[in-house]
């Protein structure tokens, strides 16, 4: 009997081992593998859907945007959040509604806190009107309570973000002048770090299963090392370095971009997400607004402003991110790929958009080849 049990045990061990070997390829791509993000910022959808924009596939067939971009490889959607929006867009109700749609498609969700009532970027970081006369101590409490309230609301509807971004392009700090770290406030890092810490504390207290990654966002790859060096002394609790790269505003030297990304990875033990990227497929326009990119001196010489050039640029970018040392490059997020020309409100545009030549749909709203790069390996 003991001999039978012995051989039976050996049989179980062998068959279990074989089963694991047979499924080894599945394990590599299994749920425990770190995801490579192929994202899109679709913050304009809450408004654009009011205009019934007719997005199409490459053959001209109408598509539902979220289903379509998921089928092309998109696995992350970024949404911006304004505190009390000046134009009624991108408030908490908009974010909650679209977050439900993202999660229903089994896609991941990146929440972008601007901590402002309108656009925040390196040149303007205006606190919400409701916070503008607070003491620094009271502002910290407001950041904590507001952050916690937003995350609680998302948690209650089972749409917790996978990534939360604390501030938008905070090269110069945020919540000026309280958390400003620019010009005459260059010695104000302790206040910036203190405000960020309150947002982090609110998130960590609610994220009991430690599922949320926290990101800090800088607008310029070339100059970001200084920013994160300054923060080292404060031991901030965050997981991801978020970066923007728009060639029209930054260096066009591809080797320099690669070098800076590699230095970031080797200097700081953080993941790197290229959280805002885009590239033009033409220098023409499709409305009566001037575009951000409209001349050859704004583009990278290696990539023409054509549909194929736009696709080749993204393939270069994906390869560059994947080659960041120590596997720290975790993906990209294409900014406003859907912001095509339309009759919007005056806060968005007069008769369209300043971005339509950098979208992933052409002027006939047909999908461009760049979408195929979302599955580029």
**Which pLDDT band, with edges at 50, 70 and 90, does 243 fall under?**
very high
Identify the band that residue 288 occupies on the pLDDT scale cut at 50, 70 and 90.
Answer: confident
Average pLDDT, the chain: 90
* 9 within some domain: no
Q: What is 248-314 written as a DSSP string? A: TTS---HHHHHHHHHHHHHHS--EEEEEEE---S-S--SSSS--S--SGGGS-TTS-SSHHHHHHHH
Task: Classify residue 1: in a domain, yes or no.
Answer: no
65 in a structural domain:
yes
Q: Band of the pLDDT at 27, cuts 50, 70, 90?
A: very low
Work out the average pLDDT over 2-28: 36
Q: For 206-238, what is each residue's pLDDT tens digit?
A: 999 999 999 999 999 999 999 999 999 999 999
Task: Give yes or no for residue 347 having a pLDDT over 50.
Answer: no
CB-count burial class (<10 Å; 0-12, 13-18, 19+) for 255: exposed
- Per residue in 145-190, pLDDT (tens digit) is 999 999 999 999 999 999 999 999 999 999 999 999 999 999 999 9
Quick one: CA torsion of 4, 9, 10, 14, rounded to 10 degrees? 140
- Assess whether pLDDT exceeds 90 at residue 257: yes
Q: Containing domain of residue 141, as a range?
A: 39-375
Q: Is 191 contained in some domain?
A: yes
Does the pLDDT of residue 4 top 70, yes or no? no
Name the band, by pLDDT with cuts 50, 70 and 90, for residue 33.
low
Listed residue (25, 7, 65, 37) closest to 271, CA to CA: 37
- pLDDT over 70, % of the chain: 89
Q: Is residue 203 part of a domain?
A: yes
3-state secondary structure of 46: helix
Cα atoms in the 13 Å half-sphere on the side-chain side of 26: 5
Q: Which of 62, 191, 84, 71 is nearest to 130 (CA)?
A: 84
Question: Is residue 202 domain-resident?
Answer: yes
Q: Of 227, 314, 299, whose CA–CA distance to 270 is shortest?
A: 227
What pLDDT score was predicted for residue 344? 53
Tokens coding 192? 């910036």
Handedness of CA 3, 9, 12, 15 (dihedral sign): negative
Residue 21 is assigned to a structural domain of this protein: no
The count of domains in the chain is 1
Asked whether the beta carbons of 218 and 224 are under 8 A apart, the reply is yes
Can you read off the two tokens belonging to residue 372?
């195929």
pLDDT of res. 351: 59
Helix or strand holding residue 143 (H, E): helix 136-156
- Whether residue 29 is contained in a domain is answered as no
Q: pLDDT: is 52 or 32 the higher one? A: 52
CATH code of the domain containing 100: 3.20.20.80
Which residues does the annotation mark as catalytic? 169, 276
What is the reported pLDDT for 376? 86
């Amino acid at each position: 009997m003991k001999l039978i049990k012995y051989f039976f045990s050996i049989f179980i061990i062998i068959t279990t081992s074989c089963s694991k070997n047979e499924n080894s390829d599945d394990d590599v791509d299994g749920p425990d593998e770190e995801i490579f993000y192929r994202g899109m910022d679709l913050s304009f959808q809450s408004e654009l859907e009011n205009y019934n924009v007719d997005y199409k596939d490459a053959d001209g067939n109408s598509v539902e945007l979220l289903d379509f971009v998921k089928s092309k490889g998109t696995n992350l959607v970024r949404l911006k959040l304004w505190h009390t929006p000046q134009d009624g867009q991108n408030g908490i109700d908009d974010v909650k509604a679209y977050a439900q749609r993202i999660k229903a498609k089994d896609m991941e969700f990146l929440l972008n806190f601007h901590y402002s009532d309108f656009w925040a970027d390196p040149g303007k970081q205006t606190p919400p009107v409701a916070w503008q006369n607070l003491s620094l101590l009271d502002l910290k409490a407001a950041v904590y309570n507001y952050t916690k309230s937003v995350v609680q609301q998302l948690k209650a509807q089972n749409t917790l973000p996978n990534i939360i971004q604390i501030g938008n392009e905070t090269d110069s700090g945020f919540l000026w002048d309280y958390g400003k770290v620019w010009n005459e406030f260059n010695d104000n890092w302790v206040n910036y770090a203190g405000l960020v810490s309150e947002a982090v504390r609110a998130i960590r207290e609610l994220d009991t299963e430690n599922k949320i990654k926290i990101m800090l966002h800088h607008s310029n790859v070339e100059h970001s090392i200084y920013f994160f060096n300054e923060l080292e002394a404060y031991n901030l609790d965050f997981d991801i370095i978020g970066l923007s790269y728009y060639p029209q505003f930054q260096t066009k030297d591809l080797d320099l971009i690669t070098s800076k990304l590699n230095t970031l990875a080797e200097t700081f033990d953080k993941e790197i997400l290229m959280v805002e990227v885009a590239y033009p497929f033409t220098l023409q326009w499709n409305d009566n607004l001037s575009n951000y990119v409209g001349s050859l001196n704004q583009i990278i010489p290696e990539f023409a402003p054509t549909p194929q050039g736009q696709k080749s640029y993204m393939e270069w970018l994906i390869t560059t991110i994947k080659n960041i040392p120590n596997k720290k490059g975790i993906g990209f997020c294409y900014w406003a790929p859907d912001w095509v020309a339309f009759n919007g409100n005056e806060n968005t545009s007069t008769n369209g958009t300043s971005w339509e030549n950098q979208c992933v749909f052409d002027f006939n709203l047909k999908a461009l080849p760049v979408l195929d790069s979302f599955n580029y390996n």
